[in-house]
Structures are given as structure tokens and as C-alpha cells.
Structure 1
């Protein structure tokens, strides 16, 4: 079902002047010491395999000696800008352990492993070709989800911090069946909320390898959170089903789990809870969100055919005429957020207005 719903190849959209101005105002648009094209100058590479000997579709790159030092120093500076004050004071304590290139997907990212030599701790950061769709997706994740996102943009280069967690497909294969019953209910609840969150904010293609499971040990239980890690399909597709992870075959295990351990009334309750939380986040970030969506309204991030299909699908679901009147993906997202705000915040008698 997934392959039929999702476009085989989504084009990359350039960053508009208006979006660039928004990113500058939010401290996202900043001069960086290295660009995506600089990393493409690798001289050779070897395949990277996982612990089971399976090809990860990443290759480990190596560079000419005369370029390696300059590239590594620039990447250390990039780490300092992303996680510190941008000064060179921490650079002597950093080491670039690896630079990997992904041969799969639209963005063809580089993954850089940065290690602190004093304590042996390390993190990953990603260098990608900038795409307006992905940037809208990252910023909407920051504003409308419970997660904060760190990323920087300069011209055609996008730098993202790593989002930690167990890839969804790995979790399904290796952990899902062995979970205690209480944990299954907690994870099913999170999947229902994640499903609703993706739909309202129009984030598509949440197949199991495009999100991670984050596990947190509480004092008396384990908490689960599902976090998106791929934002390329923000507000692009026309079929409304593609914005709900439940309709993607790779998530069948989570759908089955949710139907088995949650009552229909519980599912409806969790959906309502998530819509209410989304409406509150949208209200709390009103000014910044309005500025971002204004950029989307004046931008091209999809095709007329897909916009027409999606607005018909959303009108059919909600009977809200505002969807029918929408002219672009920005207006569709704006009307969707207005819809839940009207229904889950403005009509709440306990909200002080």
C-alpha cells in the first residue's frame, strides 16, 4: 500500500527569500564553515555493515590528505556553532571519527561522528542538501510536537543534529513482541497520538524506518515516545491517507498492536487529547507559526494536482468549506490548525480567554 500512496521521487524545492528571512529572524540561518558540496569531494569509500553483516546503505568516505585536515577542522567548527558558542575553544578536544554518505533516499545526507577525546562521548550530526519541504517540516516539528529540533541553514546546505532512538523497523523486528502488556499499551497509545499528530500537521511518509522509538526510564515504568526523523514529505502529497502512518503497510504491526490492546473508546480519547495538545501548541506559538505558514502560503512546495486532491480529501473528512477554498499547501495547513483550534481550544470552557 505504501508504494502506491507515496510519490516515487519528490523534487527538492529551493529556499525562498521569504523563508530565508524567517530563518534568519529565528537564528536558523547562519554562516557556516563548510558546505554540502565540500563533502562530495571524497576520493573513495567503503560499505558500512551492521552487527549482523547487513548492508546499511551508508558508505564510509575518505578524503585526500591535503583536504582532510581542512574538512575535519570545519566540521569541528560546525559542531561548536551547533552545540556551543561557536568559538574554537572546544575544537582541540574534538575528533572526527567518521564521515559517512547515504546512498538511499532523496537528501543523500552525510553523517558525521564527532567524539570528545576527554570523555569518549560522541554525537552525530548530518550535512544535507537544503530542501524547503524538509525545513518547513523541521520547523513545524519544533513548534507543534513535544520535541525540540536543532538545525542550521546556509544557502543550499542544511545541518541537523542527530535524533536518538531505536529505528521503528528495528524495534518492530527485535523488541515489539517481547514487551510486557503494560508497555504494549503505552506504546500503542503513543502510536495513536503520533498518527494523529502527523495527520494534523501534514507530515507524510512515516514508514517505520522514518521514525524512532525513544525509551525513557521513569521511576516506576518505561515511557515511550515516537519521533519523526524524516521531514522531506512535509505538505507534499495529495492523498490524505499518506499523512496517517496507520495506512502504511510498514506500520501494520503497530496498527495491530493498538487494536489488540486498546479499546475503541481509548483510541478516540487519545486522538482527542493529541488534537487538543496540538491546538494549544499552535496557540502558544501563534506569532512564530503564523510567520512560518505565511512563508508556506507564498511558496511552491507541491503540485497543483496534489493540492487539489488533498483539499478535496480534507473537505470530505471534515465538511469544513475552508479546505475547499484553500489555494495551496500553506493554506491547507493553516485551515487544519484553525479547525482543531476552534474545536479543541476555543470551545473549552476551562480556557481563560
Structure 2
């Protein structure tokens, strides 16, 4: 299946509902910030940003008039303080906004802000984007259902996201994977199986290789690789079930081949069960928070009727769970998916206890 047929050409941005705004406020995500996305659009010039191989990165470095730059720099330093510290102005004197980059590729069209500590030259990034309900649901679900916590803020029509460190998947596959040892390749294959399963369960779509990163961690005498999503724009929008399974994107063909070459079917099944069990445990440990989020989602509109109808029937055909067939919106579909995973996990535990 070609990429054009798998994905819609353009996904609309959905507004944040009053219920979702209240949820964000309850969990300290909705915080007043001193700058809006539209303020950063007032740049007066730009240059193309190239990578180390002189390839166009699809980012442009933007510049502002001298008067506006002073105000924008100060506001961005305050945003950094709110995102990473206590929100006070005490650290602002030690910060410098090195670059402001703008990406014209994709739906979110983010600004990437590089902030440096002038005392030690340590730096970090954060992103400024337009709010989109799909993206906010995706970020919150990643925070609760993945192994990783996420830090982000929402204020009116502006979304602030922390940077997720790692090696872009497409870069890793092209430049680094060929040099990995055979045990490392087997471990990466295992992680891709788990990542694929996690995306499918929580309906995070469009995980092409440039929408996730590989995170290497040194552990004693070897390197452990993890896979993290970095783009949450396609949470519960598309109608095709394959969109939520990274294995079906041609950009991931090498990873799929790695799974086929390095893992037996029994191992793949084992890793899928492990990931479903971990997601079920996270659902249970998230308590009221995920229940409140799903209540928001079940009353929200984040996709089209056609996509909802197609997705619920495709997942029904995959699971034979009638709850999918009865779903009226994407919130219902995702609730049914999480309930399906949780129910199977609990049934297995009941059987295990009965056998003891």
C-alpha cells in the first residue's frame, strides 16, 4: 500500500474543548505564558538550516527586528523558566536564546527554541506550536501509557513542548544501524515490536521513521536502545487501522526486516504480550487521571465520521470485540481499545491465580 493511500493528505487542527481545558488546568498543564505562537510569526527574515552533510533540514532560522527581538527573547526565557523551573525571573539573567527555527513541513509548523545557560554553555530546546486537541490527547496518553513522562504547557491557542532527546529514526536506520552488533540488532528488533504494539493499542498514528527517535543508553558493557515517539499530531484521527501500526510504513521496512531476521515468531508474540501487560499496568496505576481524560475524549470531536466508521469496523474485524462496533466517536474507540487490553490482562491474572 502506498503512503498516499495510507494517510490523508491533510489533517485539520481541532480546537481544545472547555472540558479538555479544565482537565489541563486540573493537572497543571494550562498555565499562563508571556508569548503566543502568532507572536513568533512576525519574523522579518530567515535563512535555510542545513545539516552536517549540507542537506536541507526543512527548518529555517528566523530573525526579528531589533525592537521585537528584545521582547521575544525575554518572553521565551520566561517560558523556559515556567517549563523547566519554578517560573521565577531569577534564572533569566543566566539564559540566552541562541536560535529560533521554524519548520514549514508537516501539520504543526513548530518553532524550535534553543536556550543556552551562559555560565556553562549547556543548552536545551523546546517547541512552540499551535494547539490541537489531537496533539494534546497524544501527549497526555504518551505521558501515562508509555515508559516516558512528558512536560508540556497549554495556554489559549499556544502549546509549549519540551524537547525529546534521541537520534532521529531515519538517521539511525541509515547511518548507525548497519554498524550495530548482532546482539544490538536483536535488541532493537525487540524494541520495535514493543513500540509497534504500544502505538497500536493507544492509536498513535503516522510513526514513520522521522517521527520517532532511538535513545541509546549505556548499561555496564553494552548499549540498550529504546524507541520514543516525538510527534503526536496523528492521535486517533485516521480511519485506516494500519496507520496506527508502524510496521506498515515503507520508511520502517528495514526495521520490519530486522524483526523478521532476528526474532522467532514465539519471541515476537512474547514481546507483544509483555507490552500489552505493561500498558495495562500503566492504565491501572494512572487511576482517575486517565478516566478523566477519556471522559473528555468521548465528548470531543477529533476526527471525521468517515474515519470513525472505518476505524471501528477494521478494529472490530481484528478483535471481534463488539464494543468497537458500537463506538460513536474516536474517544469511544480508544476507550474500547484500552478496556480490551485491561480486560485481557485481568483475565490472564485470574486464570493464573486459579491454577495456583
TM-score over 0.5 (shorter chain): yes
User: How far apart are the structure 1 equivalents of 2:346 and 2:76?
Assistant: 45
Matches for 1:261-276 after TM superposition, within 5 Å? 261-276=262-277
Q: Name the count of aligned residue pairs.
A: 352
Q: Does 1:219 align with 2:201?
A: no
Matches for 1:67-216 after TM superposition, within 5 Å? 67-216=68-217
State the secondary structure of the residue aligned to 2:127.
Answer: strand
Aligned residue number for residue 248 of structure 1:
249
Aligned residue number for residue 239 of structure 2:
238
**Superposed displacement of residue 195, structure 1:** 0.1
Contact 1:323 1:335 in 2 (8 A): yes
**Superposed displacement of residue 250, structure 1:** 0.4
User: How far apart are the structure 2 equivalents of 1:221 and 1:269?
Assistant: 23
User: How far apart are the structure 2 equivalents of 1:292 and 1:257?
Assistant: 36
**Superposed displacement of residue 346, structure 1:** 4.1
Q: Does 1:18 align with 2:36?
A: no
Contact 1:280 1:345 in 2 (8 A): no
State the secondary structure of the residue aligned to 1:185.
Answer: helix
Aligned residue number for residue 324 of structure 2:
323
Aligned residue number for residue 295 of structure 1:
296
Aligned residue number for residue 62 of structure 1:
63
User: 4+ runs of 1 displaced by more than 2 Å?
Assistant: none
Gaps of 5+ in 2: none
User: How far apart are the structure 2 equivalents of 1:59 and 1:73?
Assistant: 21
State the secondary structure of the residue aligned to 1:174.
Answer: helix
**Superposed displacement of residue 286, structure 1:** 2.8
Q: Does 1:6 align with 2:7?
A: yes
User: How far apart are the structure 2 equivalents of 1:94 and 1:54?
Assistant: 30
Aligned residue number for residue 29 of structure 1:
30
Contact 1:276 1:345 in 2 (8 A): no
User: How far apart are the structure 1 equivalents of 2:269 and 2:18?
Assistant: 41
User: How far apart are the structure 1 equivalents of 2:53 and 2:221?
Assistant: 33
When the two chains are superposed, the root-mean-square deviation of aligned CA atoms in Å is 1.1
State the secondary structure of the residue aligned to 2:205.
Answer: coil
Aligned residue number for residue 314 of structure 1:
315
**Superposed displacement of residue 35, structure 1:** 0.5
State the secondary structure of the residue aligned to 1:347.
Answer: helix
User: How far apart are the structure 2 equivalents of 1:6 and 1:344?
Assistant: 32
User: How far apart are the structure 1 equivalents of 2:136 and 2:208?
Assistant: 19
Contact 1:210 1:230 in 2 (8 A): yes
State the secondary structure of the residue aligned to 2:14.
Answer: coil
**Superposed displacement of residue 178, structure 1:** 1.4
**Superposed displacement of residue 119, structure 1:** 0.7
Aligned residue number for residue 304 of structure 1:
305
User: How far apart are the structure 2 equivalents of 1:281 and 1:3?
Assistant: 34
Contact 1:235 1:329 in 2 (8 A): yes
State the secondary structure of the residue aligned to 1:66.
Answer: helix
Contact 1:111 1:124 in 2 (8 A): yes
Aligned residue number for residue 45 of structure 1:
46
State the secondary structure of the residue aligned to 2:349.
Answer: coil
After TM superposition, the score normalised by the length of structure 1 is: 0.98
User: How far apart are the structure 2 equivalents of 1:262 and 1:58?
Assistant: 38
State the secondary structure of the residue aligned to 1:235.
Answer: coil
User: How far apart are the structure 2 equivalents of 1:340 and 1:131?
Assistant: 27
**Superposed displacement of residue 266, structure 1:** 0.2
User: How far apart are the structure 2 equivalents of 1:45 and 1:337?
Assistant: 45
User: How far apart are the structure 1 equivalents of 2:328 and 2:104?
Assistant: 36
User: How far apart are the structure 2 equivalents of 1:318 and 1:23?
Assistant: 32
Contact 1:99 1:112 in 2 (8 A): yes
Contact 1:204 1:233 in 2 (8 A): yes
